[in-house]
């Protein structure tokens, strides 16, 4: 297997209206997180390279905040909140052939991240969540898995793409597994984002 290097374009969301949207992470911290993501993805011979790191201002935080107060918190609420979070991350700076990640402060539900495949695919990753204090690299690795075409499996907690009931990957899980089929699928999809050798030189 040849090593595939994929560019990851990180946007750090800034908002003075919502502490949930507002994120604060340094470029070095982000590199450390990606190093942990890479240690999980090593088994697929896929490596993520930080190709961009930029702060962006949250758009439409008012809509986010007013919908946040909705009392009914069923499936439609979850969906709408995901889309509103995505809207807040809107920027012209997304790169089509890169994996775009929007870092937010927190996520409105218990998940460790969201992958939205609507218009342009986007990973939304929170610095903290209800089930982890901070910087849950395993969750980012999981969401990137969705980006590379993987669905949930029900093989248990040792697997990166397990989706049994909870959508959060525990941060202490450093040796999360991918199945051979998942590796094949992800590598196929990764070809689209693969940094060409000459580009790296
Ligand atoms: Zn998932």
Instruction: State pLDDT tens for residues 15-28.
Output: 999 999 999 999 99
- C-alpha of residue 64 to centroid of ligand 1, in Å: 22
Residue count of the chain, please give it.
201
Residues bordering ligand 1, an ion, CB closer than 5 Å: 167
Give the count of domains, the chain. Answer: 1
Q: Beta strands 4-14 and 99-106: pairing type?
A: parallel
- C-alpha of residue 184 to centroid of ligand 1, in Å: 18
Partners of 56 in the beta sheet? 13
**What span, in angstroms and rounded, lies between the C-alpha atoms of 67 and 163?**
27
- C-alpha of residue 152 to centroid of ligand 1, in Å: 6
Which range of residues forms the domain containing residue 32?
4-200
Count H helices, E strands: the chain?
6, 5
**What span, in angstroms and rounded, lies between the C-alpha atoms of 23 and 61?**
14
- C-alpha of residue 171 to centroid of ligand 1, in Å: 14
Q: Which residues contact 32 (CB under 8 A, 6 or more apart)?
A: none
Rounded to a whole number of angstroms, the distance between the first and last alpha carbons of the chain is 21
- C-alpha of residue 150 to centroid of ligand 1, in Å: 9
What is the structure's pLDDT at 166? 47
pLDDT in tens, 58-82: 998 999 999 988 877 788 888 899 9
Angle at 113 between CA 19 and CA 93, to 5 degrees: 75
Q: Is the distance from CB of 13 to CB of 53 less than 8 angstroms?
A: no
- C-alpha of residue 198 to centroid of ligand 1, in Å: 34
- C-alpha of residue 197 to centroid of ligand 1, in Å: 31
Q: What percent of the chain has pLDDT over 90?
A: 65
CATH number, position 175: 3.40.390.10
pTM of the entire structure? 0.91
**What span, in angstroms and rounded, lies between the C-alpha atoms of 101 and 187?**
19
Q: Is the distance from CB of 159 to CB of 176 less than 8 angstroms?
A: yes
- C-alpha of residue 129 to centroid of ligand 1, in Å: 14
Q: Read off the tokens for 82.
A: 């995901």
pLDDT in tens, 84-109: 999 999 999 998 889 999 999 998 87
């Amino acid at each position: 297997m040849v090593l595939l290097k994929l560019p990851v374009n990180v946007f750090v969301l800034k908002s003075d209206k919502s502490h949930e949207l507002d994120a604060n992470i340094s470029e070095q911290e982000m590199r450390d997180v990606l190093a942990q993501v890479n240690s999980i993805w090593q088994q697929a011979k896929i490596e993520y390279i930080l190709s961009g790191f930029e702060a962006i201002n949250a758009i439409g935080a008012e809509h986010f905040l007013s919908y946040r107060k909705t009392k009914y918190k069923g499936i439609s609420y979850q969906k709408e909140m995901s889309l509103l979070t995505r809207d807040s991350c809107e920027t012209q700076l997304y790169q089509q052939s890169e994996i775009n990640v929007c870092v937010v402060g927190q996520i409105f539900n218990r998940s460790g991240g969201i992958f939205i495949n609507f218009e342009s695919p986007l990973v939304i990753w929170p610095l903290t969540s209800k089930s982890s204090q901070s910087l849950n690299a395993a969750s980012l690795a999981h969401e990137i898995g969705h980006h590379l075409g993987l669905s949930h499996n029900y093989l248990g907690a040792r697997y990166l793409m397990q989706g049994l009931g909870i959508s959060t990957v525990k941060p202490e899980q450093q040796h999360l597994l991918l199945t051979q089929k998942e590796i094949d699928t992800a590598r196929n999809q990764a070809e689209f984002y693969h940094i060409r050798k000459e580009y790296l030189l």
